[in-house]
Amino acid sequence: MARTAFAIAAHPDDIEFLMAGTMLHLAERGFELHYMTVANGCCGSTVTDRETTARIRRQESEQAAAAMGAIHHAPLCDDLGIFYEPSTLARLASVVRAVAPEIVLTHAPVDYMEDHVNTCRLAVTAAFARGMPNFSVDPPAAAIADPVALYHAQPYSHRTPLGEVVLPTIWVDTSSVIDRKAELLALHASQKAWLDTSQGQDSYLETLRSLDRELGAWSNAFAYAEGWRQHASIGFGPADWDPLSTALGDLARRKP
C-alpha cells in the first residue's frame, strides 16, 4: 500500500502557499496525497455572492489538487465558520480515519487568523482520536491503530500575529518546485483580485515566492524553503519518529 500524506488547511489556496512544495516532494517519493480545506472559501470575493464564490473556489481547489496528483476532500463549513466544536470535529475525524494518513500537514498553532488556528486544533484532535472507538465520528468509521506524525506549517508571513519571527525545526528545500507551486496557486485565479483588495498583495504569485525565498535565506542552505515544526509524539506515534524528514532525505534539514 502507498504511504499517505494528508494536508488539512483552512481555505482554498492555503495549501498552495504553505505546503505544496513538501507535498510535491512526497509524491515523488511514492506518497499518496490527500488535500482538504475545512472551509469552502465563500468569503473570498468582493464581486460574486457567497454561493457563487464557494462554487468557484471549490472548482479551483479541485483543479489544484488534481494538478498536484492529490485526492480532493470536500470542505465542511463556510469561511469564518471554522470553530473547535463537536460536529465539525466529528466530521473531520471521520475523514482522517478513512484516509489513515502516516503524515498530517496542517497550520501553525498560532497564526494571523482564527480559521487557521481552529483548523490546526481540529486536525490535531481528529488525528489524536483516530484510535478511540468510543469517540463517535460522522459518518461512522472504525477506529484505526496506525501511528501518525503531525507537522505544523509556518504561520503566514513566518510571524505570529504580534510580529514575532517563527523559525521551523524542519526546513524543506522547495527550490526545484517553486515554479510548480506558483502554477498551482495560479489555478486559484479568483484570488488575485481578492488578495490585492483585502490584504494589499501586489501579486499573490510573487508573495508565494517571497515567502519561500525569505525562509530559504534563513535556512542558510536553500534558495527557497517551506518550514515545519513537528507536533509532540505523545498519543500519535513513536518517540523520535520523523517520517517526513526520513522520506525527503537531503531535501529536508532538521535543526534543534
pLDDT at residue 250 above 70?
yes
Q: Write the single-letter amino acid at 30.
A: G
Q: What is the pTM of this model?
A: 0.95
Q: Output the average pLDDT for the chain.
A: 95
CA distance 2 to 132: 24
Q: Write the single-letter amino acid at 94.
A: S
Q: Note the pLDDT tens digit of each residue in 32-85.
A: 999 999 999 999 888 899 999 999 999 999 999 999 999 999 999 999 999 999
Residue 248 banded pLDDT, cuts 50, 70, 90: very high
CA distance 155 to 107: 7
Provide the pLDDT for residue 203: 76
Provide the pLDDT for residue 198: 63
Q: Note the pLDDT tens digit of each residue in 132-181.
A: 999 999 999 999 999 999 999 999 999 999 999 999 999 999 999 999 99
Provide the pLDDT for residue 195: 67
Provide the pLDDT for residue 200: 61
Query: Is the distance from CB of 190 to CB of 137 less than 8 angstroms?
Result: no
DSSP string spanning the chain?
A: ---EEEEEESSTTHHHHHTHHHHHHHHHTTPEEEEEESB--TTS-SSS-HHHHHHHHHHHHHHHHHHHTEEEE---B-TT---S-HHHHHHHHHHHHHH--SEEEE--SS-SSHHHHHHHHHHHHHHHGGG-TTS--SS---------EEEEEPPGGGB-TT--B---SEEEE-GGGHHHHHHHHHT-TTHHHHHHHHH--S-HHHHHHHHHHHHHHHHTS-SSEEEEEEPP-TTTS-TT--HHHHHHGGGEEE--
Which three three-digit cell numbers place residue 234? 505523545
Question: Structural domains in the chain?
Answer: 4-254 (3.40.50.10320)
Pairing of strands 225-230, 170-173: antiparallel
Provide the pLDDT for residue 202: 55
Provide the pLDDT for residue 194: 66
Residue 220 banded pLDDT, cuts 50, 70, 90: very high
